[in-house]
Every structure is written in structure tokens, then in C-alpha cells.
Amino acid sequence: MYRINIEGAAHINEYEELVKIFLRPDDFEMTEEKGPEVACFTEQEDKNLTKQELFRFLEKETGVHPKWGIITGIRPVKLFGMLAAEGAKKACEKFENYYLVSREKTELTRNIYEYQQELFGDGESNSAGIYIGIPFCPTRCLYCSFASNPMDEGKIEKYLEALYKEIDYCGEAMEKMDWHAESIYIGGGTPTTLTPEQLDGLLSRMEEKLISGRGNLCREITVEAGRPDTVTPEKMRVIKYHGIRRISINPQSMKQETLNAIGRDHSPEDVKAAFEIARSEGIEEINADIIAGLPGEELKDFAFTLDEVIGLGADNVTVHSLAVKRSSRLKEKDPDYHYKRGRAVGEMLDHAADVLGDQGYRPYYLYRQKHMSGALENIGYCKNDAAGLYNVRIMDEHQRIIAIGAGGISKAYSPETRTLTRVPNVTNEEIYVERIDEMIERKEKDLFRRK
């Protein structure tokens, strides 16, 4: 048991998050006591200097060498962009020498930042990213912590009624503010849980209220079709009819035993069929999510999944490091799972980088999460510059986000001060329906307020 004292620290949470990268929660305690059996540090005016000392101590004690150094936040690319104002070389030096990030991760971050700038630059000051949440799925996955509920036709209809009310309000408010949607992401849950008729109604409402009459400025619309068992020709025709080029079909694994274990009621053959249906109906760009570190999988299993997804012709491949979230069933079954899988996940990510690079894919966005195996990262790769604009903007946080639906978190962005204010909707879909007027009032007060 390690006992750690940070003298003068009013808030120890940020230090505790750093310690958790090295040690299981049961293996340490943060204490106000001092003594020969306590590792003592003094908080300096620059807290990162204290973190450096703590990092080096834990690195020596445990033999663990976290590649992201003292960075515990989820947006390294955003941080690099802020530092790059003084030049990329200085930003790299600060990443390595001040934040103690490995050279490998520093170069990865630099390459992603520069590629994002090349592809998209900065968003216009009156632009917005829009998220529309459909919190329903066929089943709940073992690792899932999102707002997601089993399909229930009666609940879905009531939810859509409330959702349309919020869409209508946001469209009117955007028009008054002279804002336009640069990108729209319809996620969940699984939006293709909806029937073709419901999906058509949603996309028609979206077009009418959030896009029409704004000079065709929306550059990208994505529909999550994450569960391949929800993909049908009829639904793909609806998506294509509304001019949407980009969807996401998420196998997570192409190993049947793994799919059974994590609670996904589909097969690898369903994934292949979903890709075939989408392509045959004219969908131009398909993202596929896969997860490194799933229960029971080793490098050979992950490599097989990756090869299969590349063979299906995915334009984007997002490689996730499994994160064991507090509200997931996996956390209940094994709270220490992510500590056990760090080395294996690192090997999987390295393999993905090599294979995808050889196949012409480039990393275009990156983010991290708490409780990730190996304290590593999620990376989106794209081929032929088919990068997801919404993904880049949501991680960069230099654009307002208008989140509609249960579990959505809007972000009011001030270009002048470069500050964000979070404006959350409630997560539970039934409570969202009951309190839809309150959700609209929150946006009126904190998102669409005039200066």
C-alpha cells in the first residue's frame, strides 16, 4: 500500500488521477499524514511541476512508463494546438520535457494536429456542430456507459415527439443568432434502431429546421448505424435519399465468441452484409469502430478483426482502447480489468498503426478517456482524406456544439475568450420526455442567450 501526501494541495483529485495510471485504487491512499512510510510532495505554484515529481517517483517505484506522461486530460491534440501558437517545434519540446510525453506520442499528436489543420482549418465563428441523440439499442453491450435503452416502440414514439420539439426550437434559435450547422452527427444508442418511416421523419425534420435556408453550408452529416443487425436496404435508401454520405457500422470485433460475450446480438456475417447493403444503396463513406482489449481477445484476434474491416473497404477505422466505465457491466464484473490489459492493448494499437499505415490510412483524430487499458488512446484513421469533421471539432472544442436529445451535452463557445460552458440535457430518456420544456429553457438561458 502506497501512502501519498501532497502538502498544500486544496484539491487532490488531479493528482489522484495521475496515481491511478500507475496503481490500482486499492493499492494507494492520498493522506494528510506525514512520516517515513508516506511519500511526501509539496504542491508548487505550477502544479505540473509537482506532477512531474510524482510521476517520476511512481515510474521508479512501479517500473511502469506511461506514454502520455503527466497528461491525464482527454484532448492532447487540443493542448498541442494551443502550444503550437509558438511553433510546432516548441510544442513538441514542451510535450516531451514538461509534460513528459514519449517521443512516439508527441510525434503522433503533432502529425494529427497538422493533418487536421490541412483538412479543415478553424471553424467559422457563426458555425456549430450539431449532435442528435437516439438513445435506443437492440441490446446493451458489456462495456457500454452511454445513454442507451432497449427498443420499445411506445417509448420511441414519445421520445421522437419530444425530440422534434427540441429540434424545432434549436432551428428557430439558430436562425435568430445567424448560426449555421457545419456538421451534424446523429448518434446514440443506435439511430438505425428506428424504422425506415421514423428515420425518414427524423431526417426530414432535421433538414427543414436545421439546414434549409442557410446557404447549403452544412459540410457533413453522419448517421450512426453502429449495430449491423439494424442495417436494412430500406433504411440505407432513406439515408441516401436525404443526401447523407457518411455512416458508421461498428463491428467492435469479428470474432463470434467475443460478440456473444459482450452482448452484441449480431454475427461477423451480419457486419459483412451491412457493408454490402450500404454500398449497394450508394452510401459513399463508412466508418468502422473496433476495440482493442475486449474480454478473451489477444493480438491475433484483434489483428483478424482489423484485416476483416480493411477488407470490407472501410473508409474510416476508429481504433478504441477499451475503457472500463463506472456504469458498465464490465466494471461490475472486474473493476481492475483495464489494469490487467495495458500491455496487450499497447501491442494491439501498435499493430493497428503499422497495418493501417501500410494500407494508406492516416490518423486524423485522437482522444483519451478515464480508465482506459494502458492509459492509452482512441485513434480515428481515414483513407483518401475521408476524415470525420464532427469528430475533429468535438475534440478541438473551438466551436459551439448544439446537442439535442437525451444525454446530449451542448457547449456554448465564445470565440472571443475561447471558453466553453456546458449545457447538459438529462440522460434518462423518459425524464427527458417529461422535462423537455426545461431542456429548452436551459438552452435559451445558457446557449442561445444574446450578449
The DSSP line for 292-323 is ET-TT--HHHHHHHHHHHHHTT-SEEEEEEPB
Q: Are residues 129 and 35 in the same domain?
A: no
Write down the pLDDT at residue 370. Answer: 84
Last residue of a domain, one of 383, 403, 423: 403
Under a CB-based contact definition with an 8 Å cutoff, are residues 343 and 65 in contact? no
Considering the domain boundaries, does residue 88 fall inside one?
A: no
408 inside domain: no
Q: Say if 395 falls within a structural domain.
A: yes
Give, for all 451 residues of the chain, the pLDDT tens digit: 999 999 999 899 999 999 999 999 899 999 999 999 999 999 999 999 999 999 999 999 999 999 999 999 999 999 999 999 999 999 999 999 999 999 999 999 999 999 999 999 999 999 999 999 999 987 655 655 555 555 678 899 999 999 999 999 999 999 999 999 999 999 988 999 999 999 999 999 999 999 988 777 999 999 999 899 999 999 999 999 999 999 999 999 999 999 999 888 899 999 999 999 999 999 999 999 999 999 999 999 999 999 999 999 999 999 999 987 554 556 556 566 667 788 899 999 999 999 999 999 999 999 999 888 889 999 999 999 999 999 999 999 999 999 999 999 999 998 888 789 999 999 999 999 999 999 999 999 999 986 5
Same domain? For 309 and 160 the reply is: yes
Residue 391 lies in a domain: yes
* Residues 278, 286 contacting (CB under 8 angstroms): yes
DSSP class per residue in 127-161: EEEEEEEE-EESS--TT--SS-EE--HHHHHHHHH
> 143 and 285 share a domain?
yes
Q: State whether 151 and 247 are in the same domain.
A: yes
Other CB atoms within 10 Å distance of the CB of residue 81: 21
Q: Are residues 28 and 172 in the same domain?
A: no
Give the pLDDT of residue 451: 52
In a domain, 236, yes or no: yes
Domain carrying residue 299? 120-403
Pair (252, 350) in one structural domain: yes
State whether 310 and 374 are in the same domain: yes
What pTM did the predictor assign?
Answer: 0.93
Q: DSSP letter string over 341-353? A: SHHHHHHHHHHHH
In a domain, 421, yes or no: no
From CA 192, how far away is CA 238, in angstroms rounded? 11
Residue 260 within a domain: yes
Using the 3D structure, point to which of 403, 421, 440 is the last residue of a domain: 403
What is the predicted pLDDT for the residue at 305?
A: 98
241: three-class secondary structure by DSSP: helix
Helices (H), 178-267: 196-206, 233-241, 256-262
Residues 300 and 396 in one domain: yes
Domain's final residue, options 21, 41, 65:
65
* CA–CA distance, 362 with 344 (Å, rounded to integer): 23
Count the domains in the chain: 2
Cβ distance 236 to 277 under 8 Å?
yes
Same domain, 29 and 143: no
User: Domain check: are 124 and 26 in the same one?
Assistant: no
- Report the distance separating Cα 31 and Cα 37, nearest Å: 11
Q: Which of 417, 423, 419, 416 is nearest to 449 (CA)?
A: 423
Residue 27 backbone phi and psi in degrees, to 5: -100, 5
- Residue 173, domain CATH: 3.80.30.20
User: Residue type for 312, please?
Assistant: L
Q: What are phi and psi of 68, to 5 degrees?
A: -95, 10
251 and 327 co-located in one domain: yes
Domain-embedded: residue 36: yes
- The answer to whether residues 61 and 124 belong to one domain is no
For residue 372, give the DSSP letter: B
